[in-house]
Every structure is written in C-alpha cells, then in structure tokens.
Structure 1
C-alpha cells in the first residue's frame, strides 16, 4: 500500500502584495479603544523637543535615550516598591519574581548605552551647550532607586528642592525601609537572629555593614539546602547589585567615550564622579560573606599539584 501523501495540486504563486487585514481585526476605533490611545502615543511621541539652533540631527537620539531610561526607571521603582511590600508580608516568592523582572530591565538599560555610544564627540559638541545645566545627576527617579536599594543621602534632597512633588517623594523614601532592610527583617523573622542595632537602625542613613549580619548569611551559605529560600534571595540580590554596577560602568565608559575628561553638565565632575560610584555597594554583607565561607574538602581527597 502506498504511503505517499495526496497530491495537493499546484502551489499558489507567492504574492509580493501587502497582507490583507484579517477578518477578526478591529476596525471601528470610533467606538473602541485603539492601540495608540491605550499607550497615549500622541503624548509620548510629542514629548521630544530638541533645542539646538540650528537643529542638530543627533539631538533626538540623546533625548530618546534618556527618556527611555526614565521609563525603565519608573518600572524599576514600581517593581521594587512591590518587592518591599511583599517582603514585609513574608511573601518572598512573588518578591523574587519582582526582583527577577528588575534584573531583565537592568539588562535592557545597560544595552541601551551601546546606542548612545554611536554619538561621537563632535556630534555631541554641536548641541551640548543647549542642555544648559540639565544633567542626569538631577534624575529624581534614579535617586529614588538608590534610596530604595539603601544608598540613602539626605544631602541629595537639596538637588530636588525646586520641585515639591519630587522632593516630597524622595523624603518619603528616605524614611522608608529599603529593600535590604526588608530582607534583613524577613531573615530575622525566619529565626536567624540579627543584631537589634541593625533591625532598629535609622533608615534615613546609608546602610553600613555589620559583622552579625555576615554571620547570619554565613549560616545560610553553609547549608543552602536547609535555607534555600534565604540562599536564593541572597543570590538574587547579588545579581541585582552586579547588574547595577555593570550599568554604572557602561555609563562611565560611554560618557568617557563622548566627552573624555571634561566636566559634566549640571556642575558634576563627569567621569571622576561616575567612577566614584563604582565603589558604592547596596548589600555589603553579601560580598563580605564570600570571604567567610569555608572551603569543603570531600572525604578521601588528598589534593594534587594542580590545586589553587
């Protein structure tokens, strides 16, 4: 018996014409919400206002790059705020989901620097003066992210004193527990007995490492099977910080590529200011604990010439 498939007949000729609209696709946008209305695209796409005179082609790239970053930062704040609330309610699993999403957002933000890096020094010089005193240093959302991750600095509030809403929002975050504060409180509630000085600290101050917290994380890393939830949370936070540092480094290298050692707009020192930020850390004990972890030698193993 033949197993050949039936002859489908001659194939229809391929058409280079545009695809027809499918029968079920909505057409009556007078009655129903459209894609553009849902996203408020008229507002979004009319928010780019190059200021250079005569108009410079590359200024639109600079504006969209930074506007896109601000949109991502808005989503980061949304996710981190939810993660803090979930940790306070001992809901660590959905909090991990929020943190995982932030990690993907960080990857997108970091990759964006490669787009801005196509801007050459001579192209940027043609419109840089029109930025006047505008600077990324004045991004209140970036400062809000730093506050939520624990890098608190009340002196930074002065930069935003001109805008009541931004200033008020940062003051609220200054007095709120950071994500790491919430994680440490959760760790204590799970029986890891953190120092009272850490749990009751002044949350308006930048977090400082504590040996008692290193000991608590050491127990977690010594027995990850027993403390898997805490172990997973620790590693997610390390990922979060590593991604932040990669973003900072790409920022530094992009700025250095475009303006060299010149001061930044808005009065910052430029590259030196960005380089100092690379020394900051949000979760210090999660790095300190790596020096405290003891190597485990398998039974019967006697080493060899290739040991490090």
Structure 2
C-alpha cells in the first residue's frame, strides 16, 4: 500500500479518535493525521496528496483552546471541494454541524418534529423570544458541542434576571436558541448513529443530573452498573455519571433519522431525539456530523462500529470495491 495516496484524517481532539487510528494501523491502511488546530493550505494548489479526507473537526474545539479551527475548517473544506478531493463529512455536513439554527430549518423542511424554539442574536431578546414557550426553557449557543453553552431557566423571572445581570452567553457566533426544555420520558434521550446515510446502531443515554454533556464516548457504565472501557477518551477522564444502554428505535424513527442525515450530507454522524413526557411524542433536537461512538461499543451494542467505519473509509478511498 506504500504507493497508494493516504487518507487524511483532519482532527484536533487528542483522544476521541484513538480507536479509529488503531483500526487503520491494524489493517495497514495508509493515513496521515492532519492537525486541525494548526493547519495551512495553499489556495493556488492544483491538487491534494490524499485519496480521501475524513473531516473530524468538532464545534467544541473552542473548549480546548482551538477556537481558530471552527470557521477555518469551512474554508479548507470548500478548497478541497473545488479541487475535487473526496471528503467524508464535507462542507454541507459541517455547515449543519456548526449551526443548531440551520439544523432546525432542515428539520422543518423535512416536516419532522423538534422542540418549540426561537433564535436570537442579542441577549436582550431572550425574554421576548420565550413568550409562548413553556418553561423551563434552555438557552443554547448556536455553535455548541459536548453540552457547552446550554443553560436552563426554570422561570421567566430567572431568565429576565440573567439578562439583566449580563450572564446570558450567545456563544462564539453571537447566536443562540431559546428552546422549550421538555421533561424526558424515562429520563433518557436516544442517539441514533448512521453510516453512509443508513442506520448503524442506537443507544439510550441517561445524563447525569444537571448535565447537558451527552458525549457517548464519555459514558461511565451501562444501566446495569457495568463499568465501560472508554477507549476513545483520555485514560484519566473523570467519571461523569452518564449511563447508556442499547436502544431499538421504531422503524419510522429510524427512517426519519436516515432522511435527516442524507439531507444534511452527513456520511457518518448521529441524530438525537427525546420523547416529551407531557405528550409522549418524539422530538429531534441535535444533528451531529461528529461521531466518536459509544464507549465499549462491543459491550453496549454488540459490535465495534470503528470496524465498519474503516470498511467505509477504505471503500471511499478506492482501496476496496464493495460498499458498506
């Protein structure tokens, strides 16, 4: 394989993708790690050295001191697109990943349910935006990731007080969602992972009390109390109280998730939904073009999704002839 152009893996998180690299190494697939946090490209370049680029940039990069990655990535992906370089999770996917407001527009276009929401660009509009919404409400930064930039307000007065105190943060693009915080039926959300626009697996995630960080790779244990091997996280990652279990969503929800990822141009990603305990209906609320997969997937869902992911990457890079 030494004469084959490598796969470029563009990422900035130091730990999330170790299982991916391990599977690539195991197969002897040529690849190059591309540091999204310190990167350069030449707009006049006539070609690129990679057979495929796998975009693993995360909106939460700013939480790790890599905020320069967030919008730079859009420019580089557009450059690769102009050159005709195949990209997994291309510009369209990353654009949807970067904007919760854009995700809701997509859901509306597909006539799929999502929590009642208003979008604002100044904190002074938060209270007015909440008119007609049921409290509690969430104020969500448009560019989030790992639960960042989400604050829950139990009452209109609490929201008004936060606005008056200047503590309502709209995030790095000055845009935020004011959204109903639905009570979760059975205390969990469901994350459905897809690959190549098709269902891969699903998990129920039981968040720690008061937490909005639902990163599946950070899960501590199953609902039965079995400790998980968190191969995608740092060895000293703190236990966060999150619990997970395999889920089997109904066929119509799986079909809706597949429609979402296909319409968003997401090659590998996850869609999260909740069931509102007030009406028993499901609502989609997050579309992710970054999937680091659940911790100890073999134990939770019965197989290693990184194996199937690398199957797909080999196919997209032209190293094998069969599709996933």
Q: Same fold (TM over 0.5)?
A: no
Please classify the TM superposition score into its range, dividing by the shorter chain length. Answer: under 0.3
Normalised to the residue count of structure 2, the TM-score between the two structures is 0.21
